[in-house]
Structure 1
Amino acid sequence: MSEQNPKWVDDLKKVHDRLQVDETFKAELRRSLIEEGQSYPQTRRSRRPQDKRKQKYIAWGAAAAVVAIVVLLWNLLPVQDMPRVNAADLRLKLQFNTVQQLGQETSVAMAMDQDVTYYAIPTEGVYRQHGVSYEQIVTGKVSELAISPDGKRLAYVDGRELHIWEADTKQTKRVLEAPVPLGELAWSPDGKQVAYVRHDPATDTLWEAQLSSGEQHYLTKGSSLSYFPNEEKILYARQEQIYTLDLESGTEKLWGDGYSPVISPDGKYVLYVRKDGGDPQLEDAWVSDLDRQTEQKITHNRPMDAWEDGQPKEGEYQSSYSLEGLVWNTDGQSIAMYQVTETNVEWRQLVRYTLAEREAGPEEVVGQAVEALIYRDERHAHDFFSYDPGYLKGTSPRQVGYTIVNTATEANGKAVVTAKIDYSYQFPYYKVETYQFTLTRGNDGYLIDNMEETDSIRISDWNGEMVTTTEDDQRDQLIFPLEQVPVDSGWTHVGFGNIVYRESDHGRTIWFLVKQQQGDHYRMRLMRYNWDKGTFKSLGTLDGVTESSMMIIDEAEQWAAIDVSLGEEKRDIAVLSLKGADASPVYLSDKLQGPGNYEDIGTRLWKGKSLSFYVEWNRRDVFFNYSADTDTTQNK
């Protein structure tokens, strides 16, 4: 006989269903209630004496006391039910792949707890990224990760061992050692059990470990277990089909075709993988309502030339990638997964999606496509086109920024977006190309149907002269020679550094670096040139800097970010205000906390007042955001 909830629980559920709640606040409230509830003795209903059930209501009652008066008052008010958001109606925004060199992703599993991310790197252990910090918290050959619902404990697999790392104490405890290798992990909603996959010789099996006692027991055959947040059930996969298992009755039911299911933290949706049955079979990630009413395909896999044993197979095709490591953020607002491509080497990409509040408009779609190219993610850029646009990613020079000029709507309903795309590279060179993008709105939102270049300008250093160049890189118009640039007293000009060009209603402006020398001392001076008036203005200086390899300026023209060399070995990013001649640079290496010296560092993109940049540690690129106005750094 099913157990009935107390009336106040039903009343509280009605309030929950009717109120619009900020998701961040909701996650924090859920976490605080779990922590409070854990001070009371609770275990799974199916594994405790019946006379202890009252303890559950005591814990619930204590946690709900603070909102009891709200429940009573709310029941007196006329309310309307909040509409259900089906999986088919979710708006999932694909993020760029934050890897400087695609395929360089070295992690094999990850976990997300709001703005904290954990990465498992088999040869090194586990890294935790938060704010300016990228720290190694665990050593070993770690292959699987799972973060607890309250975000305070991390379960991980090291070979045949299951461990728990405590965020508060930074201590690790071994939970068990199995006779066979272990696989995927999942936390129970109350944080008292961890389920895991055992790779037994005959088949994969699912087990559950009680963390307080260390007791382990068998659940069923299968893999990729996920708990229902509000029921005594699990979801799991077996032979490319997904099942539910009632942990009280032992009843097993078919949920649907697919594998690797992961239930969202709020229990509304399931993220999983399914094959299309074609030739070659293409597997894609889907998100479905837990009750299977609606669903939508997230990824869009495509055939590619086949490979076998490191060699191409002539005339045959394979899936562009397979999918691994599907995961929800604990706040329910983002998901992530690995796309793995097998050619003569294995290429891994970690891709992320966020839940968007609205459908992306034409300007946003164009911006996302260009940003994907700036982040060197050609595959992601193609997702914004209704056709195959061919190779788009610049190399030398490459895309470094963009400006949306305007948007118009044609009589046939198509949107036309005019945008300027900036290109640069390590030498004193800058190019701005103007494009018209034509977009049509379909079932998947706006997609680009056509892009056409309408104008361009190129500015370069030509043997000590700042000039425009032609499309075939021939010298064109002289803008000014180096000798015309004002010289600081006691210094001499050695040559030009990087260039940025902007054109607006206020006129044409060139920012450029000039190399200066005084005896054995070197530095670089940032200058601004008003092309229409023919005037120069001195900005900040970079003492001790011998070379620059890239400079990008934010859209509001308040800050410059410059990739610099401080001697032969030291690379850094200097952020310099454009407001005056006496501005001092901020070096981003001073803001970082990481595992020793980094191999590389570089700018990527100004987005508003936030600078995205990467740091390479141990062959892995870690992306951060630096807020110039508030002087804070955050992980991406």
Structure 2
Amino acid sequence: MNDEKQWNETVERLRRGLPVNEELKQELRESLLQEHNMKGKRGSSSIDTVKRHRSRWKFGALAIAIAGLCLFSTLWLSQRDTDKVEAASLHLFDQFSFDQQLGRENSAGMAEYEGTIYLPLNEDGLYVLSSSEYNKLIDGNINFVRVSPDGTQLVYVQEGSLYLYNIADESSRLLLLGGSDYGLLETPAWSPDGRNIMFVSRTQLKNEIDRETESSQGQIYELSLDNGTVRSIVKGQYPSYVAGQNGLFFERDHQIIYRDLKRGEEKVLDSGRYPAVSNDGSYVAYIKSQGDPVLEDVWIADTNFNTKKQMTQNELADAWENGELVEGKQQARYTFEQPTWSHDDQRLFVYKVFHTNTVFKKLVRFQIAASKPGPEDIVAGSIKALIYRDEEFAHTFFNYDPGYLKGTSPRQIGYRILGNGEVDGKTYVDAETYLSYLDPYYEIDKVRYVVTDTPTGYKISDMLQLDNITVAVWGDAAYRVVEGEKQGDPLMELKDIPHKGTWENGKLWSLLHVEEDHTLWFTVTRASGDQSELGLLRYDMESKQFTEVCTIEGASSSYLLQLDDTRQNVAISTELNGKPDLVIYHLPDHKMTILSEQIMGVKPKEVYTRFWNHGKLIFYADMDGREVFFSFDPQSGEVSAN
């Protein structure tokens, strides 16, 4: 009996200390059952004989089992380590703010699956953003959604009840009614096998004063989709299953807790809120508060508690109370809510909340990488942040306060990394940024960025002006500009532009200067009777020759011109048929694409450009009062969610 107990305790200790490959475990189970059934058919030794010899072979097998388990563990961990690193080695590689996409509502509880984003918008419904589509799936007050592990279903919260949405047939059904039995239902989470859903039940609050007390008193339940039964799990909120384990992360009393669902044992990981486990069970992301005044940041830890890392760097800013600035007091620049992993665990979505004269949210997408962003990545990231008009984020790339970074007009519309090197032991990156705005104006700003390696990654420590080339229109002519003043003779004049048949040239609009081949690209309006069109032309400043590139019928003006790096595609922001639109002209085959016509679902009212990014044009469209970002690939002709 003691031998039996010792054997069981030893195996249990081994089992708890090793990760489990569930697929292999199932295969072994099926194999053993099959072997057992075969032996049953063939017959076996007598039961008495088996009992006499059991104690002999059990401890001999123990050594074999330990060796086998250790070998299995080594193989499993080696396989896992080829794909994953410890949380302490992770880095935020890039950030994209969906601030304009959220529009007038405060969104919450979004989800993502293989590039498709599901956006619950309070009081308005659930929207889907996928490839070329932006559409409303469901009407109503929806504030949380999660996608099933196989991507075929959504569980969402509407008015405190749980619903299930089938993506294939676009049907919804009530899963669990919120009310007297369970109170308001919140934050559902799918089990890795898709057969169960955890959710939080909370009694309805009467006032905001009770909210903090009540937040620690939520009750976590588990709903079986197989038979509809509901079982109580534990006090807490924001449950998140752990793939490969019979375990759960959740929040209680501002602590991140892991619970073994089989044994009921709990372990506190850290102080924090909103735990979110990656889909492969490797990491848990959460929000942690530190300092006085309190600063919230995004942290990521290994689910086995080995390491953890602070991923964001919040800052202090002027404090606000009741919409008024408070002199001499500071607060966190923002707070964070509800981190959510992408389906492939390579991106992390987080709500960033600003508390100033008004409270507003940005949905932010972080790119997670095992490699540290290099100096060129940091410089490119700072410029792209300004192109997205996110000056607050652009400042995070600096280890000093760079002041105003031209986040408005003239605004950045593109960039190019020119090279990098080292001088006097200092690393630098040279880059040129392209700026423009509505009045015919184009600027090439060449800057040397001095980059320093810091404990939190590379940071820009200085900026040195290398060169500045500016071209602008005065009256009916284009001039070089220095410090806001036109210089010398005109580079080009409206009167010299060739006429096209009976069409009369009107006004010079957008400008684009290509330094390498000494050309100016520009648009000019034309009229013939009651008809209008927009001509795109190229002017060679050395040969003094004009070349007609293309004509956009029905266009009455234009705002920006942008060439991609290959010089094969030009984006023309124009007023087309009475509304702002984007036209892409592919120079080699003379193909014209109107981007408003490529977006499926809700039809855009207006379309605007951002920049060419690695061969794709990033742009956004006004759809139902929200500005939604897309990218266009001129090679495939496809529009997709950015």
Normalising by structure 1, report the TM-score. 0.85
Q: Trace 1:3-22 onto structure 2 (pairs within 5 A).
A: none
Q: How far 1:105 moved relative to its partner?
A: 6.6
* Alignment of 1:97 onto 2:90: no
Q: How far 1:256 moved relative to its partner?
A: 2.2
1:588 maps to 595
Alpha-carbon distance in structure 1 between the residues aligned to 2:76 and 2:629: 45
1:264 to 267, 270, 278: 278
2:607 maps to 601
1:566 maps to 576
1:445 maps to 457
Secondary structure, counterpart of 2:97 in structure 1 = coil
Q: Trace 1:132-531 onto structure 2 (pairs within 5 A).
A: 132-179=132-179, 180-200=183-203, 202=214, 203-276=217-290, 278-356=291-369, 358-412=371-425, 414-474=426-486, 476-504=488-516, 507-531=517-541
Q: Trace 1:60-75 onto structure 2 (pairs within 5 A).
A: none
Q: How far 1:80 moved relative to its partner?
A: 10
Alpha-carbon distance in structure 2 between the residues aligned to 1:559 and 1:2: 69
- Cα contact 1:94–1:351 (8 A) shared by 2: no
Alpha-carbon distance in structure 2 between the residues aligned to 1:2 and 1:144: 43
Alpha-carbon distance in structure 2 between the residues aligned to 1:56 and 1:564: 64
Q: How far 1:4 moved relative to its partner?
A: 7.5
Alpha-carbon distance in structure 1 between the residues aligned to 2:90 and 2:32: 31
Secondary structure, counterpart of 2:518 in structure 1 = strand
What per-residue deviation string (whole Å, max 9, x for no partner) do you get for residues 529-572 of structure 1? Answer: 1222222211111011011122211122111111111233x221
Q: 1:109 to 1:512 in 2, by over 3 A?
A: same
Q: How far 1:164 moved relative to its partner?
A: 1.0
What is the identity, as a one-letter code, of the residue corresponding to 2:188?
L
- Cα contact 2:479–2:489 (8 A) shared by 1: yes
Alpha-carbon distance in structure 2 between the residues aligned to 1:127 and 1:3: 52
Q: How far 1:522 moved relative to its partner?
A: 0.9
- Cα contact 1:234–1:246 (8 A) shared by 2: yes
Alpha-carbon distance in structure 2 between the residues aligned to 1:474 and 1:244: 67
Q: How far 1:209 moved relative to its partner?
A: 1.2
What is the identity, as a one-letter code, of the residue corresponding to 1:564?
T
- Cα contact 2:200–2:220 (8 A) shared by 1: yes
Moved more, 469-478 or 123-132: 469-478
- Cα contact 1:370–1:381 (8 A) shared by 2: yes
2:109 maps to 109
- Cα contact 2:596–2:604 (8 A) shared by 1: no
1:537 to 547, 551, 555: 547
Alpha-carbon distance in structure 2 between the residues aligned to 1:546 and 1:61: 77
2:51 maps to none
Alpha-carbon distance in structure 1 between the residues aligned to 2:100 and 2:117: 18
What is the identity, as a one-letter code, of the residue corresponding to 1:635?
A
Alpha-carbon distance in structure 2 between the residues aligned to 1:80 and 1:396: 53
Give unpaired runs (5+ residues) of structure 1.
17-29, 38-52, 63-73
Alpha-carbon distance in structure 2 between the residues aligned to 1:111 and 1:307: 31
Secondary structure, counterpart of 1:151 in structure 2 = coil
What is the identity, as a one-letter code, of the residue corresponding to 1:232?
N
What is the identity, as a one-letter code, of the residue corresponding to 2:541?
W
1:81 maps to 78
- Cα contact 1:530–1:536 (8 A) shared by 2: yes
What is the identity, as a one-letter code, of the residue corresponding to 2:235?
K
1:131 maps to 131
What is the identity, as a one-letter code, of the residue corresponding to 2:228?
G
- Cα contact 1:104–1:347 (8 A) shared by 2: no
- Cα contact 2:585–2:593 (8 A) shared by 1: yes
Secondary structure, counterpart of 1:388 in structure 2 = coil
- Cα contact 2:534–2:551 (8 A) shared by 1: yes
Alpha-carbon distance in structure 1 between the residues aligned to 2:367 and 2:101: 23
What is the identity, as a one-letter code, of the residue corresponding to 1:323?
F
Moved more, 363-372 or 193-202: 193-202
2:53 maps to none
What per-residue deviation string (whole Å, max 9, x for no partner) do you get for residues 54-95 of structure 1? Answer: 999449999xxxxxxxxxxx99xx999354611111232132
Larger Rg: 2
Secondary structure, counterpart of 1:585 in structure 2 = strand
What per-residue deviation string (whole Å, max 9, x for no partner) do you get for residues 579-613 of structure 1? Answer: 47xx2421011111132x43331010101221010
* Alignment of 1:617 onto 2:631: no
Secondary structure, counterpart of 1:589 in structure 2 = helix
Q: How far 1:510 moved relative to its partner?
A: 1.0
Alpha-carbon distance in structure 2 between the residues aligned to 1:308 and 1:442: 35
Alpha-carbon distance in structure 1 between the residues aligned to 2:30 and 2:489: 82
Alpha-carbon distance in structure 2 between the residues aligned to 1:350 and 1:104: 13
Secondary structure, counterpart of 1:95 in structure 2 = strand
What is the identity, as a one-letter code, of the residue corresponding to 1:452?
L
Q: 1:473 to 1:163 in 2, by over 3 A?
A: farther
Alpha-carbon distance in structure 2 between the residues aligned to 1:60 and 1:536: 81
- Cα contact 1:376–1:393 (8 A) shared by 2: no
2:565 to 555, 580, 600: 555
2:63 maps to none
Alpha-carbon distance in structure 2 between the residues aligned to 1:370 and 1:141: 38
Alpha-carbon distance in structure 1 between the residues aligned to 2:355 and 2:76: 55
What is the identity, as a one-letter code, of the residue corresponding to 1:375?
Y
Structure in which a larger fraction of residues adopt helix: 2
- Cα contact 1:259–1:273 (8 A) shared by 2: yes
Alpha-carbon distance in structure 2 between the residues aligned to 1:190 and 1:259: 25
Alpha-carbon distance in structure 2 between the residues aligned to 1:590 and 1:3: 67
Alpha-carbon distance in structure 1 between the residues aligned to 2:77 and 2:601: 51
Give unpaired runs (5+ residues) of structure 2.
1-7, 35-70, 205-213
What is the identity, as a one-letter code, of the residue corresponding to 2:190?
W
- Identity over aligned residues, as a percent? 31
Alpha-carbon distance in structure 2 between the residues aligned to 1:364 and 1:629: 25
What per-residue deviation string (whole Å, max 9, x for no partner) do you get for residues 236-268 of structure 1? Answer: 111111222222222233222212111111111
What is the identity, as a one-letter code, of the residue corresponding to 2:571?
A
Alpha-carbon distance in structure 2 between the residues aligned to 1:563 and 1:262: 41
